[in-house]
Structure 1
Amino acid sequence: MMRVPFVNLGAQFEPLADQLTDTFLKVCRSGQFIMGEEVERFEQGLASICGTKHVISVANGTDALVLALKALGIGPGDEVITAPNSFIASAGAIALVGADIRFADVGADYNLDPACVSAVITDKTKAIIPVHLTGNPADMDALATIAKSKGIVLIEDAAQAIGAFYKGRPVGCLGRLACFSLHPLKNFHLMGDAGFISTNDDELATKLRQMRNHGLINRDESVAWGYNSRLDALQAALGNVKLPYFSEWTKRFKEIALAYRNGLQNFVNCPLQRTDDEAVYHNFVVQVNEREVLMNALSERGIDTKIHYPIPLHLMRAAENLPYSEGDFPVAEYQSKRIMSLPIYPELTDEQVQYVIDNIVSLVKELKLEKVS
């Protein structure tokens, strides 16, 4: 029986072990642990990927969202719209700045449905945060049209989507700001928590650089109460070792996704993707009835699967104070009971990928599982 773990972070380290170890020693001997040349160089590399003038690195993806909202002056009395089917941080950041969370339902692609967004906008709405869930870009043109007509800011939650393209434009340059995570489970990651914000707005970039560093404009002078959310120089240096491999790894994600799609589309519901977009497949999410039956059977054959995410955000205990209940977002709730994420990372071998495909096909037939209607 072949073993296919859901993640295998050590597999990426091994071929880069000498480079990463040498870099670790170089940084340790330099004594430059906070900010500095490695951080600046890493930010420049990320800005090139995002197609933006500025990248502001921060401690993690949640801080990226919080700082973005703070920099825009969003807080108590304001409303921010986002999706109910994301990771908790997407909505949590809104609560952390004191604003009110407003959810809108999603479409078949797991991303915000623009029509549902329009329906929940009020005079208090200050921002929309579409989540490019699973690395598949949201319908940014439709959302931008809505935002512009209402004078609302559009902030990309691109935590799962670095390297994705929407109609030929890279994710990260599609809104006023974009927020990314480089957590170890992301498709491009560092060796711990990390994140960044991308923008073409010079004024916001300056403000964010101050905010992440206690509001300091130099060693001794602060112009505002800020945060301590700097990316460690060591993490940035390790990131500079990894950046040259970014395109190769992204290409491999897409290859595996294509193999899954070709092998499984007649047996389970595969992800939807617009023909003029390029998803990066942070997760490859299929839908199947009797999900737990299939997951358990796959586990017995050595194949790990996960669910992203089994509990919609409006049904979390953290959301008990919000004016929502079961049934309010039927599409997101329906999907949450049927979605299943397959292993996908560049280090998977072709043999492992085919093993996953073969076993899903055989089990769907054996268990007589029907495709989701």
Structure 2
Amino acid sequence: MRIPSAAPTRLGDDEAAAVRAAVERVIADGPWILGPEVESFEADFAAYTGLPHAVGVGNGTDALAVAMSALGLAPGAGVLVAADEGGYAATAARLVGLVPVVMDVARSGVVDVATASAAHRPGVEAVVVTHLHGDAVPLAELDAWRRRHGLALVEDCAQAHGLRIGGRHVGTTGDAATFSFYPTKNLGAVGDAGLVGFSDTSVAERARALRQYGWTDERFRPDLPSGRNTRLDPLQAAVLSARLPHLDARNLRRRELARRWRDALAGSAVLWGDPETTVAHHAVAVTDDRDGLAAHLSARGIDTAVHYPHLVGEMPGLSAEGAPTPVAASLARRILSVPCFPELTDDEADRVGAALQDWTPRG
């Protein structure tokens, strides 16, 4: 049997039973739009992360769009986004009338003060930092820099559920934190779902209105611009509440697998990121022989993926602006994601580890 690059439908028995019970409860009892299930998950997730306010939305991209709208950025303002973020933050910026401005990344693969400073220009009002592959962006200096320049900070935590640095959950430094619960995420729904968190009460209240057409005091009358229909589905909220207690254990398994792959690749390739500041959403090998590694693993029945093959500046529909991004371009040609999900069996893990260990790069 081939080993998939991801397997979101694999769940442990206890977690699967909790998910089935949650689905059956919502179907039987309702309501089927917003209501107590959504409110309960918002409260649970806020308590888990330490976010003062959590607003459930339809997906992670809408979370980014609602965050940017709720923060009141001026129409046409620039938003700094990482060149390698997959296009999600840039898409959200375009959806709400903002201009994505790409930043290169440091050799660590994530943005820092130097790359943000190089891309910053007049008209930029916000910076989105993406904790890519579940690895934390070092925020202390970057947060101080953006405050000096009067920029809003949005943390894209779509791949970093449960990631804590010094006991503090990512997403609690910026003005807004966004999460996707796409099925393959560390905390996944059984469809699309998202959430945006805020520290400011008034901004959170604005976001709650924006997720439902911009209604505030009266239904059927949008009072705010950029309103949309992006309500978190109660069924997905119930599933996420059922799965949340399992998240830390699942992240521990991901980190254990990533450490194993790091050791197996020693001498032939490196594994992306810092093992001390990750929840290993992806385990990304970085090698000059990406095609050779993919072929080697495929021949042994192991699927792989590339996250992400195209940079934001290479996506015609986004019309992103900004300077060249040579470091991000170099990494995009050299990255390969190998299986790293919690339900990987011990036998499968042995196969992946052995295949990585016996690979020799060409050249």
Tell whether the structures are fold-level matches, with TM greater than 0.5: yes
In 2, Cα distance between equivalents of 1:170 and 1:143 = 17
Q: 2:362 aligns with which of 329, 348, 369?
A: 369
Counterpart secondary structure, 1:130 = strand
In 1, Cα distance between equivalents of 2:213 and 2:322 = 36
Partner residue, 2:258: 257
Greater CA deviation, 154-163 or 44-53?
Answer: 44-53
Partner residue, 2:10: 11
In 1, Cα distance between equivalents of 2:15 and 2:115 = 45
Counterpart secondary structure, 2:284 = strand
Query: C-alpha displacement at 1:262, in angstroms?
Result: 2.2
Counterpart secondary structure, 1:236 = helix
Query: C-alpha displacement at 1:17, in angstroms?
Result: 3.7
Partner residue, 2:170: 171
In 1, Cα distance between equivalents of 2:216 and 2:183 = 31
In 2, Cα distance between equivalents of 1:151 and 1:95 = 21
Q: Any stretches of 5+ residues in structure 1 without a counterpart?
A: none
Query: C-alpha displacement at 1:280, in angstroms?
Result: 0.6
Query: C-alpha displacement at 1:67, in angstroms?
Result: 0.7
Query: C-alpha displacement at 1:361, in angstroms?
Result: 2.1
In 2, Cα distance between equivalents of 1:339 and 1:21 = 37
**Residue 127 (1) aligns with residue 123 (2):** no
Q: Which runs of structure 2 are paired with 1:1-373 in the superposition (5 Å)?
A: 3-12=2-11, 15-217=14-216, 220=219, 222-225=222-225, 226-273=227-274, 275=276, 278-319=277-318, 321-323=319-321, 328-364=324-360, 368-369=361-362
Query: C-alpha displacement at 1:23, in angstroms?
Result: 2.4
Query: C-alpha displacement at 1:15, in angstroms?
Result: 4.8
Whichever residue aligns with residue 56 of structure 2, its letter is S
In 1, Cα distance between equivalents of 2:32 and 2:273 = 43
Query: C-alpha displacement at 1:14, in angstroms?
Result: 5.5
Query: CA contact under 8 A between 1:50 and 1:198: conserved in structure 2?
Result: no
Deviations 1:312-352 (A, max 9, x none): 11112224x44568xx1110000111100010111012332
In 1, Cα distance between equivalents of 2:17 and 2:106 = 45
Specify whether residues 219 and 238 from structure 1 end up closer, same or farther in structure 2 by C-alpha distance, changes over 3 A only. Answer: farther
In 1, Cα distance between equivalents of 2:54 and 2:333 = 37
Whichever residue aligns with residue 258 of structure 1, its letter is R
Deviations 1:132-174 (A, max 9, x none): 1001111211210111111111110111111112343111202
Q: Any stretches of 5+ residues in structure 2 without a counterpart?
A: none
Greater CA deviation, 12-21 or 336-345?
Answer: 12-21
In 1, Cα distance between equivalents of 2:170 and 2:320 = 30
Greater CA deviation, 55-64 or 237-246?
Answer: 237-246
Query: C-alpha displacement at 1:13, in angstroms?
Result: 6.8
In 1, Cα distance between equivalents of 2:16 and 2:146 = 46
Whichever residue aligns with residue 352 of structure 2, its letter is V
In 1, Cα distance between equivalents of 2:273 and 2:17 = 40
Instruction: Give the alignment's Cα RMSD to 1 decimal.
Output: 1.9
Counterpart secondary structure, 1:178 = strand
Specify whether residues 234 and 218 from structure 1 end up closer, same or farther in structure 2 by C-alpha distance, changes over 3 A only. Answer: farther
Counterpart secondary structure, 2:154 = strand
Deviations 1:167-193 (A, max 9, x none): 431112020101110001211100000
Whichever residue aligns with residue 306 of structure 1, its letter is A
Query: CA contact under 8 A between 1:74 and 1:97: conserved in structure 2?
Result: no
Query: CA contact under 8 A between 2:155 and 2:176: conserved in structure 1?
Result: yes
Query: CA contact under 8 A between 1:108 and 1:272: conserved in structure 2?
Result: no
Specify whether residues 235 and 219 from structure 1 end up closer, same or farther in structure 2 by C-alpha distance, changes over 3 A only. Answer: farther
Normalised to the residue count of structure 2, the TM-score between the two structures is: 0.94
In 1, Cα distance between equivalents of 2:223 and 2:117 = 38
Counterpart secondary structure, 2:359 = helix
Whichever residue aligns with residue 331 of structure 1, its letter is V
In 1, Cα distance between equivalents of 2:88 and 2:20 = 32
Query: CA contact under 8 A between 1:61 and 1:179: conserved in structure 2?
Result: yes
Counterpart secondary structure, 2:56 = strand
In 2, Cα distance between equivalents of 1:172 and 1:330 = 28
Query: CA contact under 8 A between 2:106 and 2:115: conserved in structure 1?
Result: no
In 1, Cα distance between equivalents of 2:53 and 2:160 = 18
**Number of residues of Structure 1 aligned to a counterpart in Structure 2:** 361
Query: C-alpha displacement at 1:86, in angstroms?
Result: 1.3
Counterpart secondary structure, 2:127 = strand
Counterpart secondary structure, 1:12 = coil
Whichever residue aligns with residue 50 of structure 1, its letter is T
Instruction: State the percentage of identical aligned residues.
Output: 33
Specify whether residues 309 and 222 from structure 1 end up closer, same or farther in structure 2 by C-alpha distance, changes over 3 A only. Answer: closer
